[in-house]
Structure 1
Amino acid sequence: MDRAELAGMLGDQTAAYEPARAALLGGGDFVVWDGIVPSQQLAGIYAARLRRARRRGTETLALSSTVDILARLETAQLKIGCIFAPDRPWAFMLFLTNDADAVLACTGIRRAGW
């Protein structure tokens, strides 16, 4: 998958899509990992990250709505990707269909120390 193709998949489903697209088109590093993960497993992991972020006061974008989307996907198998902002203060996690044809959810998390 190339940068332009991934940018084209970033719609407007959550508030993190626009900053993720800007980071990608601004030269940020990105990866879509091989393999698939059950959406319910991801919903649990990211629900825990949401609780931890709230406890610690970590800035996030669309993490709550991403958890909701992942939970609604029930038995879907998803690919995971990530975009790092060029100056690296933000990481944007992407959740794609198992064939990587569409991004279903996106969340941004401010990285510690930035």
Structure 2
Amino acid sequence: MGRRVTYRISLPAVLGLEDGINEPRYVAPFSKSYRTGLGKNVEYIEADVDRRSAAPLLKTLRLAPSRPRVKVGLDVSSMSMQQRLKMMRGELGRKKEIYHGGAGEAAKKILSEIKDALS
């Protein structure tokens, strides 16, 4: 399942985290991971620093552009620049959908999609 990584850093510090990177498609409401996650709280700590006095404390550790998604073996010479950008962002291809609701409801939606694809 998941991993926990612990870092020891000196304060003050600013952390940047990407929200939703491991967002599950479906979690059974009676699963152990779901039940243990219900009781956990996210801790928010307000920074008490004046912007002018914080300038010497700031340091950029790494700044890099995101890697584009490129399909190996795909001929892009006939694509327009707009299509190439969509491909790199993962916007080309089949429609993606996340099913919300209970297990029974999600199973019905998936079965309906399969039947539509086969007919």
Band of TM-score, shorter chain: under 0.3
**What is the TM-score of this pair, normalised by structure 2?**
0.18
In terms of Rg, which structure is larger? Answer: 2
Higher strand share: 1
